[in-house]
Amino acid sequence: MPNIKQIAEAAGVSVSTVSRVLNNHPYVREDKRKAVEAAIERLQYSRNMNAVHLVKGATQTIGVILPQINNAYFGKVVEGIGQQALQVNYQLMLFQTGYRANEERKALRMLRDKIVDGLIIISRSLSLNQIEKYAKYGPITLCEEVRGRALSCVYFDHYTSFQKALTYLWDKGHRRIGYTINRRNSASSAVRHKAYLNTLASLGGESREAWIFDNCLHLEDGAKLLQHIRTMDDPPSALLITGDQVAAGLMIAAQNQGVRIPEELAIIGLDNQPISKLLGITTIDNRLNEIGAKAFSIIYRHIHEQTDEAIIQELGFKIIERSSV
C-alpha cells in the first residue's frame, strides 16, 4: 500500500501538498489538487490513521466501560452515546467488563495509553479513587452522581425518584413496601437505601430488611423474585423494582401463576423499557438515552474546550402511570 510520499511523487508535488489536500487546507492551486486527487485514485491510496493519531495525539475514539453489552439498560445508554458520537464522527470502543475490576482497569489504561481520547463509565465496580487517578490522562464521565472530584457525570436523582415512587405507592394505600436492586454495594444502592428508610420514616411507615431484594438485573431474576416472595410469611404488598426487565420477568411469572398484579402485589419499574408498556407496568422514565447522549457531549466538551473542571449534570425523571399499582 502506497504512502503519502509515493503519492507526492506520482503527482509531482511535495508531501506537504498532498497532506494539504488530504486535510482540505486552503491555498492549494487547483491543478495540483487535481493531480493529487488523481494520484490518490490511481494508486488506491488510503491514509494510515495510526500515523495521524500519533502525530495528532488523539484518536477520535472514546471508550465505554459497561458490565455487559447484551442488556436492555446498558443498551439504551450506549445507544444514546453512539447516536451522539455519530454526529461528530467519533468512534466508540466498548469495554465489556462484567464488573471485574481488572477489566475496568484495562479500559482505564486505554485512556492513559492514548488509545481513546476519553472514557464514559456507565457502571463500575472500581472505587472512585482508583478511577480519579486516570483523570489526568483524559476526560472521564460517569453515569452516576459524583461530586468534588476531577470526574464529570450525568445522572438522574435516585434519591428523589425513590422518594416519589415510594410516596406514590403509599398514597395508593400500600403499607408494606419493598424494593429491589442489583448489586448491594453499588453507588446507587446506598442512596436508594437511604431514600427508602427516610421516606418511609417520614411517612410513618415501616421499612424492613427482608423486603429488600438484591441480585435483580435480568428478566429471569424477576421470575425468581416472585417465587421467593410467595414463600414469605409476611411479603411486601408493593415493590419498587429498579429495572423494567426485572419487573417484566416478575409480571410474566405472575401471569403464569395466576398472581394478580396489582391486587396481590403492586409493582413499579424503572427505565421505561418498551416491554413495560406492553405489560402495563407503571414505571419511571429516567431518560437513559439522554444520559448516554449527555455523557458523550460532556466528554466532547472537555476535549474541545479544554475545560478541565468537572461538569455535573442532572437529568429529570417522570413516573409513567400504567396499571401495575
Partner DNA sequence: CTGTTAGCGCCTTCAC
Partner DNA sequence: GTGAAGGCGCTAACAG
Contact status: 23 vs DNA (CB under 7 A): yes
Position 171 contacts its own copies (CB under 8 A): no
Contacts with its own copies: how many residues (CB under 8 A)? 53
Grid cell 425518584 is found at 161
Contacts for 119 with CB less than 8 Å, ≥ 6 apart: 62, 63, 64, 65, 107, 108, 110, 111, 134, 138, 139, 140, 141, 299
- Kindly tell me which residue out of 38, 54, 197, 232 binds its own copies, with binding defined by CB under 8 A: 54
> What would the grid cell of residue 300 be?
466532547
Residue 131: all three cell numbers together: 478511577
Contact status: 280 vs its own copies (CB under 8 A): yes
Q: Does 114 bind its own copies (CB under 8 A)?
A: yes
Distance CA 296, CA 90 (A): 10
For DNA, the closer of residues 13 and 247 by Cβ is 13
Binder of DNA out of 24, 41, 44, 57 (CB under 7 A): 57
> Does 181 engage in binding with its own copies (CB under 8 A)?
no
Q: Please say whether the beta carbons of 315 and 291 come within 8 A.
A: yes
Rule CB under 8 A: say whether 322 interacts with its own copies: no
B/e letters for 307-325, b = 16+ CB within 10 Å, e = fewer, are eeebbbbeeebebeeeebb
Distance CA 325, CA 321 (A): 8
Closest among 62, 8, 56, 57 to 35, alpha carbons compared: 8
Judged by phi (left if over 0) then psi (alpha if -120 to 50, else beta), residue 57 lies in left
Residue 88 contact, options DNA, its own copies, none, Cβ 5-8 Å cut-off depending on partner type: none
Q: Considering the complex, state which of residue 74 and residue 137 has its C-beta at the smaller distance from DNA.
A: 137
46 belongs to the binding site for its own copies (CB under 8 A)? yes
**Nearer Cβ to its own copies (98/316):** 98
Which residue ranges make up the site for its own copies (CB under 8 A)?
46-51, 53-54, 57, 59, 61, 68-72, 75-76, 78-79, 82-83, 86, 91-96, 103, 109-110, 112-115, 137, 218-220, 223, 248-249, 252-253, 255-256, 274-275, 277-280
Which residue ranges make up the site for DNA (CB under 7 A)?
1, 3-5, 12-17, 19-20, 22-23, 26-29, 32, 47-48, 51-52, 54-57
